[in-house]
Amino acid sequence: MASGFFALLDDIAAMMDDVAVMSKVAAKKTAGILGDDLAVNAEKASGFISSRELPVLWAITKGSFLNKVIILPIAFLLSAFLPVAIIIILVLGGLYLAYEGAEKIYEYFFPHAHLKPEISSEQLTEEQILALEKEKIKSAIVTDFILSVEIIIIALGTVIGKPISSQIMVVSIIAIIATVGVYGIVAIIIRMDEAGLKLIQLNKREGSFTYKLGTILVKALPKVIKSLSVIGTIALILVSGGIFVHNIDFLHNILPQIPSIIVEFMVGLVIGLLVLGIVNLFKKIFIKQQVA
Is residue 5 in some structural domain?
Answer: no
Is residue 64 in some structural domain?
Answer: yes
Residues for the chain: how many in total?
Answer: 292
Asked which of 45-49, 205-209, 211-215 is least confident by mean pLDDT, the reply is 45-49
Is residue 66 in some structural domain?
Answer: yes
Is residue 213 in some structural domain?
Answer: no
Q: Alpha-carbon distance 219 to 224, whole Å?
A: 9
Is residue 197 in some structural domain?
Answer: no
116 pLDDT tier (thresholds 50, 70, 90): very low
Cβ proximity of 243 and 212 under 8 Å: no
What are the tens digits of pLDDT across the range 17-57? 555 656 665 666 666 667 666 766 676 666 666 667 778 88
C-alpha count within 13 angstroms, C-beta hemisphere, residue 30: 34
* pLDDT number for residue 17: 54
Backbone angles phi, psi at 5, to 5 degrees: -65, -45
Question: Could you say which DSSP state residue 181 is in?
Answer: I
* pLDDT number for residue 115: 41
What are the tens digits of pLDDT across the range 218-246? 888 778 877 877 877 887 788 788 888 88
* pLDDT number for residue 45: 66
What are the tens digits of pLDDT across the range 77-86? 887 788 788 7
Is residue 95 in some structural domain?
Answer: yes
C-alpha count within 13 angstroms, C-beta hemisphere, residue 146: 17
Number of domains in the chain: 1
* pLDDT number for residue 50: 66
Own/partner long-range contacts of 12-15 (Cβ < 8 Å, ≥24 apart): 15/165, 15/166
6 pLDDT tier (thresholds 50, 70, 90): very low
Is residue 219 in some structural domain?
Answer: no
Cβ proximity of 98 and 32 under 8 Å: no
* pLDDT number for residue 26: 62
Q: Please, what is the angle between helix 182-190 and helix 192-202, to 10°?
A: 40
More confident residue, 273 or 193: 273
* pLDDT number for residue 118: 44
pTM of this structure: 0.69
Cβ proximity of 93 and 243 under 8 Å: yes
* pLDDT number for residue 277: 93
Highest mean pLDDT among 186-190, 281-285, 287-291: 281-285
Q: How far is CA 141 from CA 41, 67, 160, 179, 289, in A?
A: 9, 8, 28, 12, 32
Is residue 202 in some structural domain?
Answer: no
Q: Is the predicted pLDDT of residue 175 greater than 90, yes or no?
A: no
Q: Alpha-carbon distance 26 to 158, whole Å?
A: 6
Highest mean pLDDT among 123-127, 172-176, 247-251: 172-176
Q: Alpha-carbon distance 67 to 182, whole Å?
A: 15
Q: Is the predicted pLDDT of residue 254 greater than 50, yes or no?
A: yes
More confident residue, 31 or 275: 275
- Give the domain extent around 68: 13-111+120-190+232-291
* pLDDT number for residue 278: 93
